[in-house]
Amino acid sequence: MTIRSIHIENVKGIENQLFELNIIPNKPSLLVAPNGFGKSSFAAAFSGLNSVRLTLAKEHIHQGNEDLQPKLSITISQDDSVATLSADGTTNAISDRYDVHVISNRLIAKSTKRNMGNFTTASASIAIDPFVLVARIPTKTNFLYSFRQTKSTFGANAKILRNIDQLLIAPEFIEEIQNLYLLLDKYSGIRIQQKVSSIIGRINQETGTADSLRLWATNHIAEDLGNIECINTVSSLLARIDSTQQDRIDTLLNAYQICLNYSQDKETFKKACKYRSYLNDKVRYEKVISSFDTTWKNIRPTESGGKLIVEFPAASNISNGQRDSLCFAVWLQKVNNAQNRKDCILVIDEVFDYLDDANLVAVQYYISNLIKEKKSLGQKIYPLILTHLNPIYFKNFTFKDQKVYFLKKSKPALNEHFKKLIVKRSDPAISSGVDRYHLHYYPSVINLRAEFQSLGLKETWGDSTIFHTHTHGEWQKYLNGSDDYDPFAICCYVRVKIENILFGKITLEADRNTFLTTNGTKAKLDIAESAGVEVNETLYLLGVIYNEGMHVKEHIDNSSPIVAKLENLTIRKMLIESTSV
């Protein structure tokens, strides 16, 4: 199932925007966009989903206008089938199919007031919002299972049964049995009761020890018990989760006891399962938190007001990395604890961008494990990781099979002829000429038309003069505010122009020759500076811009990350100033 697109209307800074993404499940998906683009608006749209509608606070509605109607739609496809699921102020078809979670920074500003007699003072601090792990703790309920009573009900040969006290509280059993209630309901049927009574009667007619009775039962009634669907299904569950490797007859008889206990008081059985699920979840949360060595800070899950919460110390008393990675791990555990069987959309709002290396590895470990867990259950999960850091250049992310999507699609795009030139620039037939005369400044010209033609490149660009006329034309488009310029041509123009300006300021012929024969723009800047030219720091800073456009990676969007930089108003100003004579 692919998420083809996400459409957001009237949420924070997004008025109406369609994101065409084609996100595949069970892969870490990095959604890249520059700061100020609206990543928090993207996250807010998903965060506002509840089970029945999309609900946003006034400050999260576009322009704070409550007359506007926020809406979130996702279009999904599988094979030839396409469907659009929407959520607004009255409906929510998304949560019918997906379990949605949003992880974001939990820091909040906290004000403390003090009454000082005739006046009041206030101090501000940064706190961490308490984390609600379980919104409603279920009523404490135990199973109404009595081994003595069960044996009394069974009859003379009850010694064939084993005590299932510990089995009833096993975490794996609790998780799985809750999915079988409809099947367990069938145990009370008249036909099944008649079959069970007949089987028990046959057992009670035999004589011998418990072991000899089990051996007899294996040969004479195991098949009959296994033909009762509810008993057989529960028996298979027990065999799958049992570490003691019990015989088939034991799992069948244990399953009989479970079905019997369920039928005697269904509501109590269900409530007991729900309460045991809560206790199991609580243990998992405690385990995750303890793995961060936070005992001295007294961070642990606590029951308060009918909820299970975890409270954090003041932000000043816990490191940023520890705080963020701990919050992240606890939230992922909350996702993993979800008891439904729906696929999951997990939106992670820039949690990764400010972690140090160790904590970054830790949170990626938790995500990888979550994907593995969901896949093992036959479920799909879509981890949507919002970030402003392009992973192509910032090696923050080391997932084995991560996918990268750019939220901000730019109209300016890499010219295919320019792309071919960058890809083939290292070909021996043209490498030295292109590097010197096309991609860097050189006072004379070169004609490589024949070589360009043989390599399938644009023939006229083999003439370096014509090539530079092209890049200058693209630069003029950029200056005039057009949106159809080639971002790679802009990068090339800027680099060549900066080198041209610096070359013109070098006075000694020896230094000029060294400048021309030196490889790399940064090295050329150093040569110019050593020759007495005042080189503005801006020229070094812009290296990350103009050098980026000289390299192409296959099968990814090469244009969007560069355009995001070129469209930044400060960068635009720096580029214009640096290329002005």
**In a 3-state reduction of DSSP, which class is residue 112?**
strand
For the beta carbon of residue 337, count every other beta carbon within 10 angstroms: 17
**In a 3-state reduction of DSSP, which class is residue 28?**
coil
Helix (H) or strand (E) holding 353, with range, is none
Task: Determine the pLDDT at residue 398.
Answer: 64
Tokens of 353: 């961008």
**In a 3-state reduction of DSSP, which class is residue 486?**
coil
Burial class (CB in 10 A: 0-12, 13-18, 19+), 287: exposed
Tokens of 502: 């610096």
Q: How far is Cα 563 from Cα 396, in angstroms, rounded to an integer?
A: 21
Q: Where are the domains of the chain?
A: 2-106+316-406, 148-264, 416-578
Tokens of 347: 């939106």
Task: Determine the pLDDT at residue 111.
Answer: 42
CB burial of 249-285 (b: ≥16 within 10 Å; e: otherwise) equals bbbbbbbbbbbbbbbeeeeebbbbbebbbbebbbebb
Q: How much of the chain is in helix, strand and coil states, percent to nearest 5? A: 50, 15, 35
Burial class (CB in 10 A: 0-12, 13-18, 19+), 305: exposed
Q: How far is Cα 238 from Cα 251, in angstroms, rounded to an integer?
A: 6
Helix-helix angle 487-505:521-530, to 10 degrees: 20
Task: Determine the pLDDT at residue 28.
Answer: 87
Helix (H) or strand (E) holding 124, with range, is strand 120-128
Amino acid at 317: N
Provide the residue-wise pLDDT of the chain in tens; the chain has 581 residues: 899 999 999 999 899 999 998 999 999 888 888 777 888 899 999 999 988 999 999 999 998 998 999 999 999 998 889 999 999 999 999 998 998 988 876 544 444 455 555 555 544 445 567 778 888 999 999 999 999 999 999 999 999 999 999 999 999 999 899 999 999 999 999 999 999 999 999 999 999 999 999 999 999 999 999 999 999 999 999 998 876 767 999 999 999 999 999 999 999 999 999 999 999 999 988 888 777 655 446 778 889 999 998 887 666 666 666 667 777 778 778 887 776 678 899 998 876 666 666 777 777 888 888 888 888 888 899 999 888 876 655 555 667 778 888 887 666 677 889 889 988 988 999 999 999 999 999 999 999 999 999 999 999 999 999 999 999 999 999 998 887 899 899 999 999 999 999 999 999 999 999 999 998 899 999 999 999 999 999 999 888 887 776 766 665 666 777 887 887 778 889 999 999 86
What's the sign of the alpha-carbon dihedral 131, 136, 139, 145? negative
Residue pair 281/337 in contact (Cβ under 8 Å)? The answer is yes
**In a 3-state reduction of DSSP, which class is residue 74?**
strand
Could you give the C-alpha distances from 470 to 117, 475, 488, 547, in angstroms and in order? Answer: 75, 9, 12, 18
Task: Determine the pLDDT at residue 221.
Answer: 94
CATH number of 2-106+316-406: 3.40.50.300
Residue pair 449/459 in contact (Cβ under 8 Å)? The answer is yes
Specify which residues 9 forms β-bridges with. 16, 71
Task: Determine the pLDDT at residue 387.
Answer: 84
Task: Determine the pLDDT at residue 379.
Answer: 87
